[in-house]
Structure 1
């Protein structure tokens, strides 16, 4: 004896929409799905710190006075590692080899409200030996900040840094009652 399967009848409008949708050519169905489903923008961020994690390179970018990190959106067909390397060079003048950019732990941070994903990499540099060059247009200023006394930063930067035990929101990330 086989178990019986009960089926509910879908409302008429839903059946009609389903029938029309599944009779469309596959490329058109795929395009519709991509339009109506949530999508995430991908970016790369680089945490440039000294060996002892005492100093962090931060940037001040238009339009605000708050500080951020070297970061940017990925170009089409660009890997997160390539994007991190490119953005780091564009914003700070620092050139890094691919093997110097190490995935952070966690290696990705999902910002669900803004619908973007940051791929995060670490780079170790000695502040006294690293020349930082900013263009004054995309980046106004760059400075090595003490990791235990970071300046006022954007909310997104503070949230990202909290995943690494840094910044003003780090205590919240460690406190299970605020989760």
Structure 2
């Protein structure tokens, strides 16, 4: 892949770290805080991040399975999160090459419509199944997820930024 000028060369991502971060995000979503309408979906942010940075390792099938796990845990309509995460992952993989050319704050603005679409899918399925409207505060969740994007980018790219073997003879 062609890199932006001044962008540091990253180490390959460790698959154990990728899957561990996704499982950690799933566990954050499973915390027994009750379902707050404006609560950000940490798993959605982690899925989009890894779909953008490692689309060959994390794909639509992983998003579907994580969505089913969250549906079962939250006792929601089976497939509600699975469909939202699948669509989210598909569109994240679709824009991943273009998105990586931008700086992190610009990336946050560009993933905002993805998060809005995912929450709209979840809300539409919930409403079609006869659920109650959670209120206008549900619109805050995608905004909070977009605000989390720079923090998640720093945290999840940190293991790839360190030099594997610092050596005065090898500048990379």
Structure 1 length as normaliser, TM-score?
0.28
Max Rg structure = 1
- Report 1 or 2 for greater relative contact order, CA contacts < 8 Å, sequence distance ≥ 6: 2
Larger helix percent: 2
Larger strand percent: 1
